[in-house]
Every structure is written in C-alpha cells, then in structure tokens.
Homo-oligomer: A and B are copies of this chain.
C-alpha cells in the first residue's frame, strides 16, 4: 500500500504534526527528531501526496500551458523551453493545444481550474479578454507569452512584433526592394508585424498596399497559396515578408514551382527562426524570437506571482534579424 504520513509518524514514534513540520521546515523541531523523521522518511520512501496538501491550501506545483498548436515548430520549441525552466523551478506543465479556438481555450481553462493548477501561461489567442479577467478576479495567476499584451495589468513576455515587422521590412528595403509583399494570418501578433511592415514602407516613401489577403492558417500550404497569388498578379513583388517561418517555407516552395529563383528573383524573409529555417534550401532569412529567454522569463514571472505575490511586469524582448540565404539585393531592371 501507499505509504502515508501516518506510517512515517508511527515508525518514527512522533505525531503526524511533527512529521509534517520536519518535511516543510516549519516550527521548532529538535535536531534529533528531525534526523529521526528524515531517516524514516527515506527508509519508507515516503513522498507526500500533492493532492492532499493541495487540499489544505498548498500549491500543486503544476501550471497550465495553453498553446495554439504543439505541432507547430515555433510553439513546440517555446513549450520545450518553458518546460525546462519550469522543471528547474520545481514545476510541471499541463500542455493544451487550442488551435486558436475560443471553445477549446475555455474548455481547457475550466478543466485545469478544477485540477487546481497554480496558474496559467497563455500563448494562445484569447481574443476575448473576459476569461482572462475572470481568472484574475479569482486570483489565479495568469501570464501571457508570445502574444499581445492586452490593456489590462497582467504579466507578459512578448517580443516587439511591431518592431519585428518594421525591421524585417526595413531590411528588405535596404536591399533595394520597393515592391514588397506580405503574408500574415489574422491574429494579433501578425497584425502587429503587418503594422510594422506598413510603417517601414511609409517611412521610406513607399505606398503600402491597401488590401491584404490573410492566410487562414499558419501553414506551408497557405504560404504557398498566397505567394502564388502574388506571383500571378500584374506587378509581382521582388520580396515577401512572411509573418512566420512556415509561411516563408510556403513562399519558397511556390517560387520554386514557378521557376522563380530565391533569392535572385524573389527575396523571402520569415519570422520566428525555428529549426525549419535552416532546413530549407535556400536557408531562410528570418526574425528570431529568443524562445529560450522567453521561456525562462515567463516561468520566473509565474513563480514570482505564485510564491511571492510579486508585482506585475511586462517584459518586451526584441526580435533579431538573422540573415541567411533567402534574401538578396534586388536586381534593378533598366528598360
């Protein structure tokens, strides 16, 4: 049978209260008893039941991580880094893929609440803030990562998406491109990157396109599809900024299919800097998100909130341009 605090108490000849105190380093216990208890604990291989202690108000050391899609390399990479950091701090993660569906988000939220997680890390969409506010009202720690920081006081770790879009576009402009396409999905981060893109164009006296076609999913297929549309248009761009690597891969695939060489005839710049950026040929120039640091920071915010009721912080990190092979100077055509 499972060994409980009673077994330890009995064998050590003390009360369960004493055992509890030894284990939690509380109250006054003589060195002798402490040693005795610890000995017995080890001998019986006793591990306190987390459920039971959670019932009395202690923490479960478990955090819910809501992420759009674990199979997306950016998010699995991010999740892995959060996990590592969580592990170091003594926490475990329940991971849930939401596919950007509010329905799933809400379902997981209430499910995990029942399971007494100590807090939530949301990497998912949550276009609707009410649920988040509800959590905060219930005093459940929530942090947000890799998405917008909404206009409510909440812990966040984000990158400056606007700046990322701005830098990516500026880089293309610096290579001489003037007709630059964009591929984005209609989610917050992408909209910000789009905003940066437009700003960069404007700052350089280039007219931004009025209408842009959104990808309906973040996938290679959609990147390809929209690139094809660009390529079929009257005035195809010499460069595209794709709001993440997956879409960028799609762009490169589309170009290949059309016999258009990257980067000579079409420059492509991605976003995220996931592993796949280095797999493709030509390797993808991209804006890197510092996922390792992000993972570390978010867990520190969470634990600070859970264990020490720390003040709310918003951490904004800068994405960084990683130049690879998919971008080049534009070749001017003189007529």
Interface residues of A (CB under 8 A from B): 2, 47-52, 54-55, 60-62, 69-71, 73, 76-77, 79-80, 83-84, 87, 92-97, 108, 110-116, 138, 220, 249, 256, 275-276, 278-281
**Docked CA distance A174–B115 (Å):** 55
Inter-subunit contact B93/A95 (CB<8 Å): yes
Inter-subunit contact B50/A116 (CB<8 Å): yes
Copies in the complex: 2
Which residue of chain B is the closest to A278 with respect to CB atoms?
Answer: B220
Instruction: Return chain B residues, CB-CB under 8 Å to A94.
Output: 62, 92-95
**Docked CA distance A73–B76 (Å):** 8
Contact with A280, one of B84, B111, B116, B279 (Cβ below 8 angstroms): B279
Which residue of chain B is the closest to A83 with respect to CB atoms?
Answer: B97
Instruction: Return chain B residues, CB-CB under 8 Å to A278.
Output: 220
Query: What are some 27 contacts across the A-B interface (CB < 8 A)?
Result: A47-B114, A48-B114, A49-B55, A51-B51, A51-B54, A51-B55, A51-B116, A52-B55, A55-B55, A69-B80, A70-B79, A70-B83, A71-B77, A71-B275, A73-B73, A73-B76, A73-B275, A79-B95, A80-B97, A83-B97, A92-B108, A93-B94, A94-B94, A220-B278, A256-B281, A279-B279, A279-B280
**Docked CA distance A23–B92 (Å):** 29
Inter-subunit contact B276/A115 (CB<8 Å): no
Inter-subunit contact A62/B281 (CB<8 Å): no
Excluding A47-B114, A51-B54, 17 further A-B contacts by CB distance (< 8 Å) are A50-B114, A50-B115, A50-B116, A51-B60, A61-B115, A70-B70, A71-B80, A71-B275, A73-B275, A92-B94, A92-B108, A92-B111, A93-B94, A94-B95, A95-B95, A276-B276, A279-B280
**Docked CA distance A93–B61 (Å):** 15
**Docked CA distance A300–B293 (Å):** 37
Inter-subunit contact B112/A92 (CB<8 Å): yes
Which residue of chain B is the closest to A276 with respect to CB atoms?
Answer: B279
Inter-subunit contact A47/B280 (CB<8 Å): no
**Docked CA distance A60–B278 (Å):** 41
Instruction: Return chain B residues, CB-CB under 8 Å to A281.
Output: 256, 280-281
Inter-subunit contact B83/A96 (CB<8 Å): yes
Which residue of chain B is the closest to A113 with respect to CB atoms?
Answer: B47
Which residue of chain B is the closest to A110 with respect to CB atoms?
Answer: B47
Inter-subunit contact B249/A279 (CB<8 Å): yes
Q: A62-B94, A71-B80, A96-B92 are in contact. Are A51 and B115 (CB under 8 A)?
A: yes
How far is the CB of A83 from the nearest CB of chain B, in Å?
A: 6
**Docked CA distance A54–B55 (Å):** 10
Instruction: Return chain B residues, CB-CB under 8 Å to A49.
Output: 55, 114, 116
**Docked CA distance A163–B110 (Å):** 44
Interface-central residue, A47, A70, A113, by most chain B CB under 10 Å: A70
Instruction: Return chain B residues, CB-CB under 8 Å to A84.
Output: 97
**Docked CA distance A60–B54 (Å):** 13
